[in-house]
Structure 1
Amino acid sequence: MATPSAIGIVVSDMKKALAFYRLLGLEIPEPAEGEDHVGITLPGGMQLMWDTEELIKSFDPDWTRPIGTRVGLGFECTSPAEVNALHAQAIAAGYESHKDPWDAFWDQRYAQLRDPDGTVVDLFAATP
């Protein structure tokens, strides 16, 4: 079974976004200039991550800025095979795929589904 493991937020300006979340009390290290991905581990092990719009467009060129929320949910699977199987199971149950499973350049097997409201939910596992 997949385990909820990460929450990702797409941002248009990394510095402004991190300043806001620091204001709320999160301890976020200062990223390198131009860094397009920043993440922290929350108490209890949940990861909170921020990605620039440019990074998202690098692997999903059709991505457009959403109206409303910019939060996504990520579910960690036990293996790349489980990513594939869970994605196929969801499709067979009538749910929509946003992006079929692929081997991402950041060393994970990755897939994206849409929940009933259209929110993209990520499935992922480390690649060996």
Structure 2
Amino acid sequence: MAPTFQAIGLAVADMATSLAFYRRLGLDFPPGAEKEPHVETTVAGGIRLMWDTHAALKSFEPDYRPGEPSGGWAFLCADPAEVDRVHAELVAAGATSVKAPWDAPWGQRYAQVADPDGNVVDLFASSQ
């Protein structure tokens, strides 16, 4: 039997700041999660998204050092207007816009913001 893909993790500098950002994208976390060194939430399809603070990772990997952000997650929006609205709300809340909303040649309304740790988060919806 082959291993089953089940989880994706992010290393974060500040749990409270990161969870506040992802709550704005509709992810649900238990009350008080911002005080924990490890937090998880389950999304559609049963995939677990996991957050670990740099300190938590260093606790079991003494040589751990945060690397440059690479990769990120993509969030499907209901329609092009929601892409624009969510991008504007995130930027107004302090997120950095990586790319303002645009009509991508592949038929989607697309935008990108950086999460608090610099990971790029895509927002998209079909523009058709």
Q: Which has the higher helix share?
A: 2
1:46-61 to structure 2, matched below 5 A, reads 46-61=47-62
Instruction: Output the CA distance in 1 between the equivalents of 2:12 and 2:35.
Output: 13
Cα drift, residue 31 of structure 1: 2.7
Instruction: Output the CA distance in 1 between the equivalents of 2:30 and 2:20.
Output: 11
- Pick which of 10-19 and 28-37 moved more: 28-37
Counterpart amino acid of residue 62 in structure 2: P
| Length, aligned pairs only | 71
Cα RMSD (Å):
1.7
Which protein has the larger Cα radius of gyration, Structure 1 or Structure 2? 2
Instruction: Output the CA distance in 1 between the equivalents of 2:4 and 2:35.
Output: 31
Matched-pair identity in %: 48
Aligned to 1:67: 68
Instruction: Output the CA distance in 1 between the equivalents of 2:60 and 2:24.
Output: 31
Show structure 2 runs of 5+ residues with no match: 73-128
Residues 83-127 of structure 1: CA distance to partner in whole angstroms, max 9, x if unpaired? xxxxxxxxxxxxxxxxxxxxxxxxxxxxxxxxxxxxxxxxxxxxx
The question of 1:8 aligning with 2:21 is answered: no
Instruction: Output the CA distance in 2 between the equivalents of 1:58 and 1:70.
Output: 24
1:45-124 to structure 2, matched below 5 A, reads 45-69=46-70
Show structure 1 runs of 5+ residues with no match: 72-128
